[in-house]
Amino acid sequence: MLMKKTSEIVIVFDFDSTIIEMDSDNWLLGEFGAIDKFYQLLPTTPWNPLMDRMMKELHSEGKTMDDIVEVLKQTPMHHRIAPAIEAAHALGCDLRILSDANMFFLETIVKHHGLDDYFSEIDANPSYVNEEGRLRISPYHNFVTSPHGCSLCPPNMCKGVVLERIQRSVGKEGKRIIYLGDGSNDYCPSLKLKESDYVMPRKNFTLFKLISENPSLVKAEIHGWSDGEELERVLLQIIDTICVEEKNNTTNPSKLIAADCKLGTINCST
C-alpha cells in the first residue's frame, strides 16, 4: 500500500547495534587487535575516557586517521537498514540519531553509506582530530563539572535528558516519536516516551529484556524487531498506522497492527 507523506513523526535511532550490527568501538578495537586490552582496563576506567586513551595508544603505534576511517567503513550493517532510513525520510519523517558512540565514528559510517543527508540532528559524544593527528573523544555530559544525575545511564550521557529536549522542541507541534534502540542506555529515554509514541527495542538485546521485566512502566507502544529486515517492516507499519490515524483524525488503538503490538511482542517473541 502506498503511504501518504507525513510531517508528524520524529524517528530517533540509536546507532550501535541498531543502525549498525555491533558496537562501533568494539569493531574498531577488534580490527586493530586492541579489544582484550580495552576490556582489561574497563573495570577501572569509564568507557568514554578509556576510548580516548585507546585512540592515543593506537596513534602511538602508528595507526593513522586514514587507517581508522578504512576500518570504520567496513563496519557491518544489515542490507535493509539503509532502505528503511531512505523510505522513512521519503515519507516525510524527521529522522535523528541519539547515540553513545563518538561523533567521528558515527558520521564516518553514516556518510560512507550515503545516509548523512537524511538526519536532521545527531547527538553523540563529541570528538575531533587534534594537531597531532589523533582522535580525541569527550563525554556528551561532563560528568566531573556537571553530572546528569541519572542512575539509569552511564556518566558520559543520559539519553533521557536529550530525548526530553527533543520532546520539548517538537511537543508544541503535536508530533509523535518512534524510538529505536537495543542497549541499557536506551531504557531511560524509553521511559520518557508518551502513550502516543512508539518504542522499538531489538529483540533479545538488553533494552528488550529490561522492558520485558515490567512492560507497564513504558507508556509507549512496544514493537520488537530482530534484524534489519524486520526493523524495516515494523517501522514502515508504524508509520503507515500513524498516517491512517492522521487521515481519520483519530488515535484509536484498535487500529494498530496486531503483529508486533504492545505486550504481544514482549510475551510472544523468543
Residue range 113-164, pLDDT digits in tens: 999 999 999 999 999 999 999 999 999 977 677 778 898 888 889 999 999 9
Residues 50 and 156 in one domain: no
Check whether 112 has a pLDDT greater than 70. yes
Statement to judge: residues 180 and 55 lie in one domain: no
Looking at the fold, whether 65 and 153 belong to one and the same domain comes out as: no
Whether residue 66 is found in the same domain as residue 89: no
What pLDDT does 154 receive?
Answer: 85
The pairing of strands 176-181 and 198-201 is parallel
* Domain edge (last residue) among 52, 73, 94: 73
Q: Is the pLDDT of residue 181 over 80?
A: yes
Q: Which of 54-63, 239-248, 257-266 has the lowest mean pLDDT?
A: 257-266
| Same-domain pairing of 29 and 119 | no
Same domain, 119 and 170: yes
The whole-angstrom separation of Cα 225 and Cα 260 is 9
Average pLDDT value for residue range 93-103: 97
Q: What is the mean pLDDT of residues 42-50?
A: 93
Q: Assign residue 206 the CATH number of its domain.
A: 3.40.50.1000
Mean pLDDT of 33-61: 95
Which pLDDT value is given to residue 261?
39
Which contiguous run of DSSP H or E holds residue 10? strand 9-13
Residue 193 lies in a domain: yes
Label the pairing between strands 135-137 and 127-129: antiparallel
- The whole-number pLDDT of residue 5 equals 59
Q: Would you say residue 171 has pLDDT above 90?
A: no
CA distance linking residue 163 with residue 219, whole number of Å: 15
The whole-number pLDDT of residue 270 equals 36
Number of structural domains in the chain? 2
Nearest-angstrom CA–CA distance, 132 and 137: 14
Of the pLDDT bands very low, low, confident and very high (cuts 50, 70, 90), residue 245 is confident
Is the residue at 13 inside a domain?
A: yes
Same domain for 108 and 86, yes or no, is yes
The alpha helices in the chain, defined as continuous H runs, are: 24-31, 35-41, 47-60, 65-73, 81-90, 103-112, 159-171, 187-192, 206-213, 228-248, 262-268
Mark 205-229 as b/e (b = at least 16 C-beta within 10 Å): bbbbebbbeeeeebebbbbbbeebe
If asked whether residues 14 and 113 sit together in one domain, one would say yes
**Per-residue pLDDT at 96 exceeds 80:** yes
User: Do 60 and 145 have their domain in common?
Assistant: no
* Residue position matching grid coordinates 488515535: 251
**Residue 260 is assigned to a ligand binding site:** no
Residue 163 is predicted with a pLDDT of: 97
Residue 4's pLDDT band (cuts 50, 70, 90)? low
Does residue 254 share a domain with residue 201? Answer: yes
Residues 84 and 209 in one domain: yes
- In angstroms, the CA 191 to CA 211 distance is 9
Residue at 48 is within a domain: yes
240 marked ligand binding residue: no
> Does 132 map to a domain?
no
Which residues have CB under 8 Å from 227's CB, separation 6+? 78, 80
Tell whether 25 is in a known binding site: yes
260 is catalytic: no
Q: Is residue 3 part of a domain?
A: no
* Mean pLDDT rounded to a whole number for the chain: 90
**pTM: predicted TM-score of the whole model, two decimal places:** 0.89
Query: Is 35 in the same domain as 116?
Result: no
In a domain, 1, yes or no: no
51 part of a folded domain:
yes
Active-site residue identified among 16, 23, 52, 186: 16
Name residue, grid cell 577501572: 44
Catalytic annotation on 94? Answer: no
Residue 102: give the domain boundaries.
9-22+77-126+141-268
| Mean pLDDT (whole number) for 68-97 | 98
The single-letter code of the amino acid at 177 is I
